[in-house]
Structure 1
Amino acid sequence: MSFWGESEGQPRNVVSPDIYAEDFSAAVDFLGTQSFVDRNWIGVLGICGSGSFAISAAKIDPRLNAIATVSMYDMGAAIRNGLRHSATLEQRKQAIAEAAEQRYMEFTGGETKYTSGTVHELNENSTAIEREFYDFYRTPRGEYTPEGSSPKLTTHPTLTSNVKFLNFYPFNDIETISPRPMLFITGVDAHSREFSEDAYKRAAEPKELYIVANAGHVDLYDRVNLIPWDKLASFFHQHLSR
């Protein structure tokens, strides 16, 4: 995504759902103009937060002909409501107020602040979700630091931009993607399962919700013995072939 990893964009770690969706369309621009690509058969796969960005893109870009998500996070709902609607309205308002005040600080040359993301150490009070993400992002399993970046900023958006997710509703009008097919893959034990189930409920046919046994959320990032390769392959072969 723009602003993250090896992608360009300044300032770094900025939240911009519109640009995240645009990144998918920009990829289609490139692929669809290559001589070896049939532009009528381009699909998209979004993992975690990128699942919701892919849906956002597909709603306004019909060139995405088949849409699959894995361990999808609806980043809008996650920031607005918390997992399983655990956040209160007062907590949301407080976060908005803090971000607004921080804008003054940074506009006048103050230090940039970052928020949320994966914790950097565990203790006896760490939650299961914190431990799950820590095991991926803070260990050699998934730790990756592009040149010129700091590992301490991995997964941490800027405080002032993170509130932009509050205006992000990727599942609104999801039914308009039909008749293009959608596949939602989630782990049976994934803490993010609620988002795939919500998207599936709202989407129009053709659609499928595929639950992976013995899998949590992060498992489907890189556990090659759990990722349903055959399901993904059959989905795209079925819907992206003449």
Structure 2
Amino acid sequence: MPVDADNFYQSDSVTVERVSFDNQYQMEVVGNLVVPNNLDRSVSSPAIIVGHPMGAVKEQSSMLYAQKLAEQGLVTLAIDLPFWGESEGQPRNLVAPELYADAFSAAVNYLGTQSFIDPGRIGVLGICGSGGFAISAAKIDPRLKAIATVSMYDMGAVTRNGLEHSQTLEQRAALLEDAAEQRYSEFTSGESQFLGYLPAQLDENADPVTREFWEFYRTERGIHIPEGQTLQLTQNRMLTSEVRFMNFYPFNNIETISPRPLLFVTGDQAHSREFSEAAYAQAGEPKELYWVEGAGHVDLYDRVDLIPFDKLTSFFQDNLEE
């Protein structure tokens, strides 16, 4: 584990409170509200919603960001997306992009009705897959006033095309055929069939991207097992729900978010950099693509020497000022 990795950071200068609220589907969304200890609650303050990487939970990466930003005076709310972590939804680990996006709007509902939060100064930070879900939410929810992403993944594009368009149309069709056949199996057995993206043990011939994720989610660096799950189940999803990402196009009409500001943070060595580049190219002004030199995709989950907390803090402070 890198000495500068601090995914399970615990700050002494903030207060963490478990909170819950319903989304529009009457499902409970659970989050951690992180408040600076010196916050003046008699004054309305801005707040930031923090979304976790795809397949992760709020304890993995999100709470590090939520606490580090709160140390700079920002109220933050790290949420578990529906079907993940402590939030409701069955079966577990279900892929449901529409409900993921709605969770950010539900979080706005919660924050905007708190006496010490200014409902006109709420922003969002999406890490990895949550970057795409946050953008999807912001396109239809103008209450999200400033949008930042870190190591963003377009889960729709990567499912349709693979990284760097490495998947053929024939491979895509085969994936859909497999998922369709698997639905029969799940219907007749009543049991979910999960993809084995990340096994407990890493094959010596694993590709570099799988190895990068495995070294976070399957080692002490990033392991977090929600109640009722096993290590093998965490991160992995059902193929029959995974294919829903084929219909997920978060960057379509991204220009309609303008004039609200967008910040895309990505490592210059990240295998996922293509998604931040694509979003930046399509977005309206104001926008910024911020490169973190020497950083890979997962590096920005927890490597505190690389994560540009000052940049993120200034982005939100400047764009959520009174």
Q: Where on the TM-score scale, by shorter chain, does this alignment land: which range?
A: over 0.9
Tell me how many residue pairs correspond in the alignment: 242
TM-score (norm 2): 0.74
2:302 is aligned to 222
Q: Aligned to 1:171, which of 251, 268, 285?
A: 251
Alignment deviations for residues 110-131 of structure 1 (CA, whole Å, 9 cap, x no partner): 5321125334322331111111
The alpha-carbon deviation at position 26 of structure 1 amounts to 0.4
Aligned counterparts of 1:113 and 1:101: Cα–Cα separation in 2: 11
2:274 is aligned to 194
Please tell me whether residue 150 in structure 1 is matched to residue 227 in structure 2.
no
The alpha-carbon deviation at position 228 of structure 1 amounts to 0.1
Q: Aligned to 1:12, which of 88, 92, 98?
A: 92
Please tell me whether residue 44 in structure 1 is matched to residue 44 in structure 2.
no
Runs of 4+ in 1 over 6 A off after TM superposition: none
Aligned counterparts of 1:180 and 1:30: Cα–Cα separation in 2: 21
Aligned counterparts of 1:108 and 1:12: Cα–Cα separation in 2: 19
The alpha-carbon deviation at position 23 of structure 1 amounts to 0.4
Aligned counterparts of 1:55 and 1:118: Cα–Cα separation in 2: 27
Gaps of 5+ in 2: 1-80
Aligned counterparts of 1:129 and 1:94: Cα–Cα separation in 2: 22
Q: Aligned to 1:91, which of 171, 174, 177?
A: 171
Shifted more, 207-216 versus 94-103: the winner is 94-103
Aligned counterparts of 1:125 and 1:69: Cα–Cα separation in 2: 31
Shifted more, 127-136 versus 184-193: the winner is 127-136
Task: Rate the CA distance shift 1:89–1:41 in 2: closer, same or farther, 3 A.
Answer: same
The alpha-carbon deviation at position 109 of structure 1 amounts to 2.0
Pairing of 1:102-113 with structure 2 (within 5 A) = 102-113=182-193
Shifted more, 149-158 versus 185-194: the winner is 149-158
Aligned counterparts of 2:204 and 2:225: Cα–Cα separation in 1: 27
TM-score (norm 1): 0.98
Aligned counterparts of 1:208 and 1:127: Cα–Cα separation in 2: 31
Aligned counterparts of 1:120 and 1:90: Cα–Cα separation in 2: 30
Gaps of 5+ in 1: none
The alpha-carbon deviation at position 44 of structure 1 amounts to 0.0
1:56 is aligned to 136
Q: By percentage of residues, which structure has more helix? A: 1
Q: Aligned to 2:219, which of 135, 139, 156?
A: 139
Aligned counterparts of 1:132 and 1:23: Cα–Cα separation in 2: 28
Q: Aligned to 2:152, which of 43, 59, 72?
A: 72
Aligned counterparts of 1:13 and 1:230: Cα–Cα separation in 2: 33
1:25 is aligned to 105
The alpha-carbon deviation at position 104 of structure 1 amounts to 1.3
Aligned counterparts of 1:104 and 1:222: Cα–Cα separation in 2: 40
Alignment deviations for residues 9-51 of structure 1 (CA, whole Å, 9 cap, x no partner): 1111110000000000000010001101000000000000000
Aligned counterparts of 1:78 and 1:236: Cα–Cα separation in 2: 29
Aligned counterparts of 2:196 and 2:260: Cα–Cα separation in 1: 34
Q: Percent identity?
A: 67
The alpha-carbon deviation at position 6 of structure 1 amounts to 1.9
Q: Are the equivalent residues in 2 in contact too, given 1:119–1:130 (CA < 8 A)?
A: no
